[in-house]
Amino acid sequence: MFKVSTPTTVGELRERNFPLTLVIGGGVWALLALVQPSVAVWILAFAPTVVVPLGLNLIERDGGIAWSPFWKLGRWLHLPTAALFVISFCLEQSWLAATLAMPWLVVTLLFALAGVAMLWRNGRQVDRVTALGGALLLLPVGAGWAALSRAGLQPQGFSHEIVLLTGVHFHYAGFALPILTASAVRQFPIAWERALIVAVVLGVPLVGVGISLSQHVEVVAAVLLAVACLTVAMLQLRAALKSRNANHAMLLLISVSSLAAAMLLAAVYALGEFTANDWLSISTMVQTHGVLNAFGFVLCGLIARSLEAADRGPH
């Protein structure tokens, strides 16, 4: 699936071992799935072990990432810290569990520093590099909330479930969505590219701010993010229809249809909340909306874009 060449740089060395990284990470996640019954935990633990490696590989190919000490160290420490993160969910909420989750937070902060360097070099431009840098900056937010969940802490009185799901939100909508957006506009530049990127990068944290501070901000941010997601879905659909690679097209179509179904469920849930009707519980949303987004939209989308990047050849 990924081309192998004689390594001459740190990036090529990392890419040569990339499939093995995914196999090991996926294996660690599968072991957790056998002992942990929570679907929300499955989704969250899947991010550091599989989703983030796919995303980081795309950033290396398409983002012009500087080979800073922060990035290099983060890449080498990624797999062991992700494994510790997964192990933390085999324990009850405690400071020991939080301690095992903390190294993953440290690694995501290293990636965030590399993201700052990307944005600094990019200047005041708002383009796909902005989206990739934003993904790296939002990743430690998810890792931080996950660590709070492992410690059993409840900031602002949020339930344990909401704290955990906030960690999920920032690992997927915060990290993976901007990367998929960058891939979409790379292939099909659009007139409102800047607005789309701003909506994606700012929409994710604004939803969180709205939940904490203002319902009005939450509604505006949610609508903004929904429109941005629809735009990304339409660009992915266009890519699927134009693709000459059947596997690539199929994965993109699964990604698009999963996102459409997940957004429909989100709309039903939001309408139920607004009208005080308990149509869909949070647990049901995790098992449907969450699974569709994580394994349908994000995973299939990232694999499709990885296949596309491999077809383009060495960066």
User: What confidence score (pLDDT) does residue 1 get?
Assistant: 40
Within a domain: residue 5? no
Q: Is the pLDDT of residue 6 over 70?
A: no
1 part of a folded domain: no
Q: What are phi and psi of 7, to 5 degrees?
A: -70, 130
Q: Which of 228, 261, 245 is nearest to 309 (CA)?
A: 245
Confidence bin at 9 (pLDDT 50/70/90): very low
Q: What is the pLDDT of residues 137-183, one digit of tens each?
A: 999 999 999 999 999 999 988 899 999 999 999 999 999 999 999 99
Domain extent at residue 221: 16-312
Residue 8 has pLDDT above 50, yes or no: no
Whether 289 is in a domain gets the answer: yes
In a domain, 227, yes or no: yes
Amino acid 13: pLDDT: 38
pLDDT digits (tens, 9 = 90+) for 58-117: 998 875 665 678 998 999 999 999 999 999 999 999 999 999 999 999 999 999 999 998
Rounded Cα distance, 197 and 247, in Å: 27
Give the tens place of pLDDT for each residue, 184-239. Answer: 999 898 888 999 999 999 988 888 777 667 666 777 777 888 889 999 999 999 99
| In a domain? residue 2 | no
Residue 36, φ and ψ in degrees, nearest 5: -115, 115
How far is C-alpha 82 from the chain's CA centre? Answer: 14
Query: Which structure tokens are listed for 312?
Result: 């383009």
Could you tell me if residue 56 is inside a domain? yes
> Encoding tokens for residue 103?
């190294």
Tell me how far CA of residue 50 lies from CA of 4, 94, 241, 271, in angstroms: 20, 25, 27, 33
* 8 in a structural domain: no
Total number of domains in the chain:
1
Listed residue (164, 48, 146, 160) closest to 101, CA to CA:
146
Examine residue 216 and state whether it is found in any structural domain, yes or no.
Answer: yes
Tell me: pLDDT of 10 over 90. no
CA 65, 68, 72, 78: dihedral to nearest 10 degrees? -70
Report the 3 state secondary structure along the chain. CCCCCCCCCHHHHHHHCHHHHHHHHHHHHHHHHHHCCCHHHHHHHHHHHHHHHHHHHHHHHHCCCCCCHHHHHHHHHHHHHHHHHHHHCCCCCCHHHHHHHHHHHHHHHHHHHHHHHHHHHHCCCCCHHHHHHHHHHHHHHHHHHHHHHHHCCCHHHCCHHHHHHHHHHHHHHHHHHHHHHHHHHHHCCCCCHHHHHHHHHHHHHHHHHHHHHCHHHHHHHHHHHHHHHHHHHHHHHHHHHHCCCHHHHHHHHHHHHHHHHHHHHHHHHHHHHHCCCCCCCHHHHHHHHHHHHHHHHHHHHHHHHHHHHHHHCCC
